Chain A
Amino acid sequence: MKRKILISGNEAMGEAAIRAGCRFYAGYPITPQNELTAYMANAFQKAGGIFIQPESELAAISMVYGASASGVRAMTSSSSPGISLKQEGISYISGAHIPAVIINVMRAGPGLGNIWPAQSDYFQAVKGGGHGDYHMIVLAPGSVQESFDLTKLAFDLADKYRIASMILSDGILGQIMEALEFDDESKPPQPPEKPWALTGAKDRKPNIVRSLSMKRDEVEKNNLLLQKKYRRIESAEVRFEASGLKDAALAVVAYGSMSRIAKSAVESLRKQGKKVGIFRPITLWPFPKKQLEKLSGKTKKILVVEMSCGQMVEDVRLAAAKSATVGFYGRSGGGIPTEKQVTREILKMLAQKR
């Protein structure tokens, strides 16, 4: 039976985790994601599950590593400064091929910044904020509904590829309340068999969860294995949303809550007869580069809008700048581009000769 409730983005991600069969959560308090930590504490108390408020984000991510190495679905969440501390564990999780779900409800930086929304952790999320040659799957929801749907997906992808999946949310998406619809009777999926998990060496050889090898060629081999996995993910898991692009002279590219504001601007301009459309990456890694490359073949003006000083724009340029002009507008440090400002930038770029 379908159920429809009013819920915040933070809590929707918690509900999704429970429904995805998450059995372990560790999280250290930080605004603007505290509702999620409290939600997990409450939900696990009722449904059974292990909740730990650890001494730090360093410990939290290492706990997720341990829980996941034990074979259960495990998650942690935080906001930007805390996610910086988790980079150590994310690198180890990646090197050891274990699944994990990590939620970043982004706030402004650098440093302590403030608790206002931002998108300035894009580089950290998609380029690998920790050490080593690795990637996470990075999913960027644009609504409360999508925060729920993508969190469930994050668990499936993490298990499927034995990889860390990150939900890149932000202070707006975490805090807003919207309608959420879900199947109330759906049972958590049965996670795949995990013959590699540490469950005791009974009737089998010992399992070891590790990323180290003293032998140089073994680490290189592991890296090649990781790269093979990343290529598979790039060819199978790209997700995006596009509208109004058929006849567009200009395409706005934006993700997350920024895409909501950009969409309002684009829709008003279309009503006025302007040929503008919007392209919204849902997977930030793997990035929809082929789709953007194709788009740049016919839409010659692309405007990237971000709540940052310009991060995703670099990936858009790599994909599209050969054939199209790529412009950028962004605000940072908690500043949020308004619909009016985005509209102004679109009109400015439309008026420019190429």
Chain B
Amino acid sequence: MAKNYKRPESLVDVATHYCAGCGHGILHRIVAEVIDELGVREKTIAIAPVGCAVSAYDYWQFDCAEAAHGRALAVATAIKRVQPDKVVFTYQGDGDLAAIGTAETIHAANRGENLTVIFVNNAVYGMTGGQMAPTTLADQKTATTPAGRDVKKEGFPLKISEMLVLLDGVYSVERTSLSTPAGVLVTKKAIKGAFENQIQGKGFSIVEVLSMCPTYWDKSPADSARWIEEVLSQYFKLGKLK
């Protein structure tokens, strides 16, 4: 029998630093598989965020730039403009993409930069200890909302993907989830599509991935997956938005 399941060439054979049950490891692998399948490893340039995935380049076998917190899409814009023949993507958390980097996100999207964006929504700031993120749900407890997010003071969870849908420069927007094996397959398909869009020159494509953070949700990995199913994805609706 042929062995089909193997480590992608684009994925380094080391253990990751991520917590048990964290979604980043799964997502790194998905990206690596897609890059392999598209045969573009040797012309891929990734931009790592500031956040838990800051050292994603320790796990990927292609060129990578670190960006300042929130500036990944400005860095990506320049790399892609200088090297339009390369496959350029950013991998960003919700704090990086939807708080400190909101301006960079909106304007790269609005310019219609031919880029792929992997947006990891785990509803908290993981790297700094589980503080409120722009995507933290109403009443969700975090390090900086000990009584739960009060929407009267802290605002509502930011639906930045829905905002991006409105921009003429944006080609495709999809929201998926890592909470079930089926969700992982849908995520992979969406990410592959977002890379194919870039390769075909179609323009700005973003995949928002709902991803588990058991450590700062204070839940077991299994309960974290369930929480995405039952709660997080009720607010952040899955599907192809554009």
Cβ distance A298 to chain B, nearest Cβ, rounded Å: 48
> What 0/1 readout, one digit per residue, does chain A (58-72) give for beta carbons within 8 Å of chain B?
111011111101111
* Given A24-B78, A66-B79; A210-B86 close (CB under 8 Å): no
Q: Which of B59-67, B162-170, B172-180, B190-198 contacts A (4 or more CB under 8 A)?
A: B59-67
Contact indicator A198/B74 (Cβ below 8 Å): no
> What 0/1 readout, one digit per residue, does chain A (88-104) give for beta carbons within 8 Å of chain B?
11001000100000000
A202 within 8 A of B: yes
Contact indicator A50/B43 (Cβ below 8 Å): no
Across the interface, which residues of A come within 8 angstroms of B1, CB to CB? none
* Given A198-B65, A200-B62, A206-B62; A74-B71 close (CB under 8 Å): no
**CA–CA, A208 to B60, complex, Å?**
10
**CA–CA, A68 to B18, complex, Å?**
31
> What 0/1 readout, one digit per residue, does chain B (61-94) give for beta carbons within 8 Å of chain A?
1111111100100111111011100100000000
B57 within 8 A of A: yes
Cβ distance A262 to chain B, nearest Cβ, rounded Å: 39
Contact indicator A212/B78 (Cβ below 8 Å): no
Chain A 148-201 interface residues, beta-carbon cutoff 8 Å to B: 198-201
B232 within 8 A of A: no
Across the interface, which residues of B come within 8 angstroms of A26, CB to CB? 78
Cβ distance B42 to chain A, nearest Cβ, rounded Å: 4
Closest to B106 in A: A55
Partner of A208, one of B57, B78, B104, B107: B57
Across the interface, which residues of B come within 8 angstroms of A89, CB to CB? 68, 71
Contact size class for A?
A: 35 or more
> What 0/1 readout, one digit per residue, does chain A (301-328) give for beta carbons within 8 Å of chain B?
0000000000000000000000000000
A-B contact pairs, 18 of them (CB 8 A): A52-B77, A52-B81, A54-B74, A54-B107, A59-B71, A62-B71, A65-B71, A66-B47, A88-B68, A198-B64, A200-B83, A200-B86, A201-B63, A202-B43, A206-B61, A206-B64, A208-B65, A210-B57
Contact indicator A96/B107 (Cβ below 8 Å): no
A338 within 8 A of B: no
Apart from A64-B78, A206-B60, what are 6 other A-B pairs with CB-CB below 8 Å?
A: A69-B65, A71-B82, A198-B79, A201-B61, A201-B62, A209-B64
B103 within 8 A of A: yes
A124 within 8 A of B: no
Partner of B78, one of A65, A96, A210: A65
* Given A200-B62, A201-B62; A59-B57 close (CB under 8 Å): no
A214 within 8 A of B: yes
Give how many B residues have a beta carbon under 8 Å from the other chain's beta carbons: 35
Q: Top 9 A-B pairs ranked by shortest CB distance?
A: A66-B78, A62-B74, A66-B75, A62-B71, A202-B42, A55-B107, A63-B78, A200-B43, A59-B74
Cβ distance A194 to chain B, nearest Cβ, rounded Å: 12
**CA–CA, A290 to B77, complex, Å?**
44
Closest to B83 in A: A70
A341 within 8 A of B: no
**CA–CA, A50 to B60, complex, Å?**
29
Contact indicator B63/A67 (Cβ below 8 Å): no
**CA–CA, A24 to B75, complex, Å?**
13
A211 within 8 A of B: yes
Partner of B66, one of A63, A199, A202, A211: A211
Across the interface, which residues of A come within 8 angstroms of B83, CB to CB? 70, 199-200
Closest to A56 in B: B103
* Given A26-B78, A58-B71; A66-B43 close (CB under 8 Å): no
B199 within 8 A of A: no
**CA–CA, A129 to B174, complex, Å?**
40
Cβ distance B75 to chain A, nearest Cβ, rounded Å: 4
Contact indicator B63/A208 (Cβ below 8 Å): yes
A114 within 8 A of B: no
**B interface list, Cβ under 8 A from A:** 17, 41-45, 47-48, 54-55, 57, 60-68, 71, 74-79, 81-83, 86, 103-104, 106-107
Contact indicator B82/A72 (Cβ below 8 Å): yes
Closest to A67 in B: B78
A207 within 8 A of B: yes
Closest to A68 in B: B78
Cβ distance B199 to chain A, nearest Cβ, rounded Å: 14
Across the interface, which residues of B come within 8 angstroms of A69, CB to CB? 65, 75, 79
A280 within 8 A of B: no
Contact indicator A198/B45 (Cβ below 8 Å): yes
A135 within 8 A of B: no
A23 within 8 A of B: yes
**CA–CA, A212 to B53, complex, Å?**
12
Contact indicator A200/B44 (Cβ below 8 Å): yes
* Given A59-B104, A89-B71; A209-B65 close (CB under 8 Å): yes
Across the interface, which residues of A come within 8 angstroms of B61, CB to CB? 201, 206
Across the interface, which residues of A come within 8 angstroms of B45, CB to CB? 70, 198, 200
Contact indicator B63/A66 (Cβ below 8 Å): no
Across the interface, which residues of A come within 8 angstroms of B60, CB to CB? 206
Across the interface, which residues of A come within 8 angstroms of B74, CB to CB? 54, 58-60, 62-63, 66
Across the interface, which residues of B come within 8 angstroms of A67, CB to CB? 78-79, 81-82
Cβ distance B57 to chain A, nearest Cβ, rounded Å: 5
Closest to B104 in A: A59
**CA–CA, A206 to B60, complex, Å?**
9
Contact indicator A201/B107 (Cβ below 8 Å): no
**CA–CA, A208 to B56, complex, Å?**
11
**CA–CA, A206 to B97, complex, Å?**
25
Across the interface, which residues of B come within 8 angstroms of A208, CB to CB? 57, 63-66
